[in-house]
Amino acid sequence: MAAKSDNLSPDSRRRGIPRVPVSWIVLIAFDLCIVALVCAQDQPDSKQQPSDEAQVIELAGPVGIDDSDSQFEAIDVYVDSGTNPLAAYQFELASTTPGVKIVGIEGGEHAAYSDAPYYDSRAMRNNRVIIAAFNTGKDLPVGRSRVARIHVEIQGSGARSYRTRLSVSATVEGRRIPARVSLARIVI
Amino acid sequence: MSDDQGQPESTEPDLPEEVTSELKRMFRPSIEISEAVDKAVMADAQNILAPGVRVSPHRPAPGMGRWAFGLVAAGSLAAVLVLVMLPNNPQPNGVAENAQSVEAMNSTPEYVAKRDIDGNGRVDILDAYTLSRMIEDSTAGISKDQNNDNILDDNDVNLVAETAVTL
């Protein structure tokens, strides 16, 4: 029988490969670019990710209570800015062990940071928060100073681990300075 | 071969008649089948193998390829338009609480860029600090107005700081 295969090029006819028009190849490549663009937009914005290294701090927890019971405690957050006055700070705290809920946030010990810091209200009843504050005055804490107190509800006994990341520590005129964050457990 | 016409006599030894005829039968030229015969055979085969089923041609109807190409191209262009027009962060659907709407608005790239006061590519508390200092020193231009009320005050600073701590 005389076979007719108009969609086959002379070369591909021998191999049995259908010939694809160039316009279709261009269109398929165009669609692939769109898919790549969509995938790229779905990626998280790397500029929003803090670049500072996080540290994990373990604090003692309640002792001798049932897993179904909970206890209210507080976590004091200290920032040590060394010899530089601390004009601004921002840190993230997240519990890496279950059974920790943030229930309140208040300011620190120094007058410059005695007001409640900035935080997202969605942190309440959650286990993660970003806390920040600044002061443009001249009376600023130096050295190790408690900048915030975080009230938490802890369910069950045992120690808890917290991941902290100090993303901003700055002195007057907004100059970034090295600093260190530390936590302390307060039983109320 | 002995039956070559007008050719010089072959020096090869003569083959037996049976071998010659068998070779001729094997390598004879293929018979061209006319289109009418081809169609008739196909019709008979269809009646026997799949009676009542109409065999559609393999090739699409003339113009169908162009239509399909046009449809796919139009779809691709529509997808590009949707991608260009939609913001990166979708707005909340339906009637959302006012605070949630503000948060969603604050997280759009335009607002994030506006609140990046020091232009380092991310919004943090230093942007709020910088804006506060600029307002105190009266060096902030109206372009730093965050809530579009044409007044530079603590409300603008608070918006920047709230963006910095947004989860």
Quote the minimal CA–CA distance from B125 to chain A in Å: 6
Quote the minimal CA–CA distance from B133 to chain A in Å: 7
Q: What chain B residue is nearest to A42 in terms of C-alpha separation?
A: B88
Q: Which residues of B touch A41 (CB under 8 A)?
A: 83, 88
Q: Which residues of B touch A131 (CB under 8 A)?
A: 165
Q: Which residues of B touch A170 (CB under 8 A)?
A: 126, 129
Residue A134 amino acid letter: F
In Å, how far are A55, A68, A90, A100, B111 from A96, measured between CA atoms? Answer: 11, 19, 19, 9, 31
Does B33 touch chain A if contact means CB atoms closer than 8 Å? yes
Percent of chain B with pLDDT over 70: 68
Is A133 within 8 Å of B80 when comparing Cβ atoms?
A: no
Interface residues from chain A to B (CB-CB < 8 Å): 1-2, 6-7, 21, 23-24, 27, 30-31, 34, 37-38, 41, 47-48, 87-90, 118-123, 126, 128-134, 136, 167-168, 170, 173-174, 176
Q: What's the average model confidence in pLDDT over B17-24? A: 85
**Comparing A87-96, B45-54, B157-166, which segment has the lowest mean pLDDT?**
B45-54
Task: Tell whether A81 is covered by a domain.
Answer: yes
Q: Are residues A137 and A177 in the same domain?
A: yes
Q: Are residues A177 and A137 in the same domain?
A: yes
Q: Are residues A69 and A18 in the same domain?
A: no
pLDDT (tens, 9 = 90+) of chain A, 188 residues, equals 444 444 445 555 555 566 777 778 888 888 888 888 777 665 544 333 334 678 999 999 898 888 899 999 999 999 999 999 999 999 999 999 999 999 999 999 999 999 999 999 999 989 999 999 999 999 999 999 999 999 999 999 999 999 999 999 999 989 999 999 999 999 87
pLDDT at B51 over 80: no
User: What pLDDT, on a 0 to 100 scale, did the predictor assign at position A114?
Assistant: 96
Closest CA to A49 of B69, B87, B124, B161: B124
Greater confidence (A136 vs B1) lies with A136
Q: Are residues A33 and A53 in the same domain?
A: no
Task: Tell whether A27 is covered by a domain.
Answer: yes
Instruction: Pick from A90, A115, A165, A167 the residue to mutate for testing the B interface (most B CBs within 10 Å).
Output: A90
Does B44 touch chain A if contact means CB atoms closer than 8 Å? no
Greater confidence (B166 vs B63) lies with B166
Q: Are residues A90 and A153 in the same domain?
A: yes
Helix (H, G, I), strand (E, B) or coil at A18: coil
Percent of chain B with pLDDT over 90: 23
Helix (H, G, I), strand (E, B) or coil at A168: strand
Q: Are residues A66 and A28 in the same domain?
A: no
Is B162 within 8 Å of A34 when comparing Cβ atoms?
A: no
Strand locations in chain A (E): 55-59, 70-80, 88-95, 100-107, 128-134, 144-155, 160-170, 180-187
Q: What is the CATH number of the domain that holds A81?
A: 2.60.40.680
Q: How many CB atoms lie within 10 A of CB B91?
A: 12
User: What pLDDT, on a 0 to 100 scale, did the predictor assign at position A104?
Assistant: 95
User: What pLDDT, on a 0 to 100 scale, did the predictor assign at position A1?
Assistant: 44
Q: Which domain holds residue A33?
A: 10-42
Task: Tell whether A30 is covered by a domain.
Answer: yes
Greater confidence (A8 vs B141) lies with B141
Phi, psi angles (nearest 5°) of residue A147:
-105, -20
pLDDT at B22 over 70: yes
Q: Are residues A37 and A100 in the same domain?
A: no
pLDDT at B126 over 50: yes
Q: Are residues A67 and A95 in the same domain?
A: yes
Quote the minimal CA–CA distance from A11 to chain B in Å: 19
User: What pLDDT, on a 0 to 100 scale, did the predictor assign at position B80?
Assistant: 81
CB A112 within 8 A of CB A140: yes
Does B132 touch chain A if contact means CB atoms closer than 8 Å? yes
User: What pLDDT, on a 0 to 100 scale, did the predictor assign at position B128?
Assistant: 95
Q: Are residues A175 and A111 in the same domain?
A: yes
Dihedral angle sign, alpha carbons of residues A139, A143, A144, A148: positive
Task: Tell whether A35 is covered by a domain.
Answer: yes
Greater confidence (A7 vs B160) lies with B160
Task: Tell whether A3 is covered by a domain.
Answer: no
Q: What's the pLDDT tens digit per position in B68-117?
A: 888 888 888 888 887 776 654 443 333 334 444 555 555 667 777 888 99
User: What pLDDT, on a 0 to 100 scale, did the predictor assign at position B16?
Assistant: 85
Token pair in block for residue A23: 């316009």
pLDDT at B57 over 90: no
Q: How many domains, in total, are found in chain A?
A: 2
A-to-B residue pairs, Cβ atoms closer than 8 angstroms:
95
Is A168 within 8 Å of B161 when comparing Cβ atoms?
A: no
User: What pLDDT, on a 0 to 100 scale, did the predictor assign at position B104?
Assistant: 57
Q: What's the pLDDT tens digit per position in A44-86?
A: 443 333 346 789 999 998 988 888 999 999 999 999 999 999 9
Strand partners, A35: none
Q: What's the average model confidence in pLDDT over B39-43? A: 86
Instruction: Enumerate residues 53 to 92 of chain B having a beta carbon within 8 A of any beta carbon in chain A.
Output: 59, 65, 69, 72-73, 76, 79-80, 83, 88
User: What pLDDT, on a 0 to 100 scale, did the predictor assign at position A148?
Assistant: 97
Task: Tell whether A2 is covered by a domain.
Answer: no
Q: What are the boundaries of each domain within chain B?
A: 98-164
